[in-house]
């Protein structure tokens, strides 16, 4: 059997996950890998990510509608070093379909959580070997943005958990994102809507949760906030802030900080937990780092590498169909027209949005910067 000491170590390593490993496989938290942070940028921002980030493929784990409308393909890989010997790896991708993403965006990824080797003991306290529990989750979905800029997304997931026995389940996420104007964007997602992991005669439902988020963005700053509503009643709030003080050509630096009440509730000291991070961003490659403190238990470090490419000429350009952007005829020049006062006002209102697009090194169709 697994002793309470082993259970406590697993719990310490998964403060962001569901309750700790219990004294046997029957009491294991269901789908712990589904509650871990996805990507260094999200972790540094306190996981206030429900309003989306078009240029970050890992954002699909917070809202499957997040990458809708992007015209760039992207792939990201993240590695996290947790407590003891626990490691966590994540991969995610986004691929626009059709001309300029007119047929939506294909999304997907995989998560792998390795708890390391845990010593087991029998009823007399004698060691009877060790075991290596681990979790895996694979995802595949689709996101679409309508002409009114409302974005929706859905993602199916397969979860497999191995402790002393194996359990698996299927579930899905639903999400939406909508720009409110003046730099504000709202997002909502319902995650792990179905499914349970069954170990022998005992089962536990996957962590059902609802995310509600709001983001405000300017050319140099991003502020975000989320509310996480869990089916177990352990709700949480998070805040995040990002500054982009330095930009040289198409390369920039981002500084980030965040707060997550879920971390605060599990810390053993009275200090205020603030996650921090930084990123180096360009049109084709970005590198992000996050540092998350846990008081006496230690700290977690996350690193994410993201690759972007022009879908019209990239390795998956065949997904665009016959009419790629490169084949589009140039529009005919029209004679200039005199603007009415109403048209002039509309043009002035659109200037900040156009300015944000020019400053975006990733060239995304979204109005937000650095996405």
From first to last of the 371 residues of the chain, give the pLDDT tens digit. Answer: 444 333 333 443 343 343 333 322 233 346 788 988 999 999 999 999 999 888 899 999 999 999 999 989 999 999 998 766 788 999 999 999 988 788 999 999 999 998 877 666 666 666 666 667 889 999 999 999 998 899 999 999 999 988 778 889 999 999 999 999 999 999 999 999 988 888 777 788 898 999 999 999 998 999 999 999 988 778 999 999 999 988 887 889 999 999 998 876 655 555 567 999 999 998 899 999 999 887 766 788 999 999 999 866 655 555 555 443 334 445 555 555 545 444 443 454 444 444 444 344 433 333 333 44
The pLDDT value recorded for residue 273 is 78
3-state class (DSSP) for residue 221: strand
The pLDDT value recorded for residue 340 is 47
The pLDDT value recorded for residue 101 is 82
Element (H, E) at 179: strand 166-181
The pLDDT value recorded for residue 203 is 80
The pLDDT value recorded for residue 121 is 64
Any idea where the domains of the chain sit in the sequence?
4-324+340-359
The pLDDT value recorded for residue 142 is 97
Could you tell me which residues are beta bridge partners of residue 121? 127
pTM tops 0.85: no
Range list of H helices, 249-301: 261-266
Decide if 38 contacts 16 (C-beta within 8 A).
no
Relative to beta strand 127-131, strand 285-293 is unpaired
Q: How far apart are CA 309 and CA 319, in angstroms?
A: 14
**Reduced to 3 DSSP states, what percent helix, strand and coil does the chain have, rounded to the nearest 5?**
20, 45, 40
CATH for 4-324+340-359, among 3.60.21.10, 2.40.160.40, 3.90.1300.10, 3.90.1150.10?
Answer: 2.40.160.40
Which residues are CB-neighbours of 343 under 8 A, at least 6 positions away?
Answer: none
Give the residue from 265, 193, 187, 214 showing the smallest Cα distance to 34: 193
At 363, list the tokens. Answer: 């060239």
Measured at the CA of 275, the angle between CA 356 and CA 282, to 5 degrees, comes to 35
Q: How far apart are CA 35 and CA 33, in angstroms?
A: 5
């Amino acid at each position: 059997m697994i002793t309470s000491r082993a259970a406590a170590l697993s719990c310490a390593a998964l403060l962001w996950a569901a309750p700790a490993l219990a004294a046997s496989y029957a009491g294991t938290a269901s789908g712990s890998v589904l509650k871990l942070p996805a990507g260094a940028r999200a972790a540094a921002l306190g996981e206030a990510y429900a309003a989306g980030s078009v240029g970050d493929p890992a954002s699909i784990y917070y809202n499957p509608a997040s990458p809708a409308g992007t015209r760039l393909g992207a792939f990201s890989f993240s590695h996290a070093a947790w407590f003891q010997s626990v490691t966590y790896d994540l991969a995610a991708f986004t691929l626009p379909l059709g001309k300029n993403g007119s047929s939506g965006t294909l999304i997907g990824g995989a998560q792998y959580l390795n708890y390391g080797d845990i010593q087991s003991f029998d009823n007399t306290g004698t060691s009877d070997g060790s075991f290596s529990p681990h979790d895996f989750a694979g995802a595949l979905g689709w996101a679409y943005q309508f002409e009114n800029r409302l974005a929706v997304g859905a993602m199916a997931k397969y979860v497999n958990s191995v402790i002393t026995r194996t359990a698996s389940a299927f579930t899905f996420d639903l999400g939406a994102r909508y720009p409110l104007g003046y730099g504000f964007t709202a997002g909502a997602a319902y995650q792990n809507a179905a499914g349970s992991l069954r170990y022998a005669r005992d089962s536990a439902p996957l962590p059902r949760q609802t995310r509600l988020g709001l983001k405000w963005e300017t050319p140099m700053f991003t502020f975000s906030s989320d509310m996480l509503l869990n089916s177990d009643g352990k709700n949480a709030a998070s805040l995040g802030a990002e500054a982009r003080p330095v930009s040289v050509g198409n390369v920039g630096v981002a500084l980030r900080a965040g707060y997550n009440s879920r971390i605060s509730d599990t810390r053993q000291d009275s200090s205020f937990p603030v996650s921090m991070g930084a990123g180096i961003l360009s049109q084709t490659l970005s590198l992000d780092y996050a540092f998350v403190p846990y008081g006496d238990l230690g700290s977690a470090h996350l690193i994410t590498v993201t690759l972007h490419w022009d879908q019209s000429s990239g390795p998956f350009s065949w997904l665009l169909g016959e009419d790629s952007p490169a084949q589009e005829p140039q529009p005919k020049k029209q004679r200039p027209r005199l603007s009415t006062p109403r048209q002039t006002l509309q043009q002035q209102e659109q200037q900040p949005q156009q300015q944000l697009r020019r400053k975006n090194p990733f060239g995304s169709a979204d109005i937000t910067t650095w996405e």
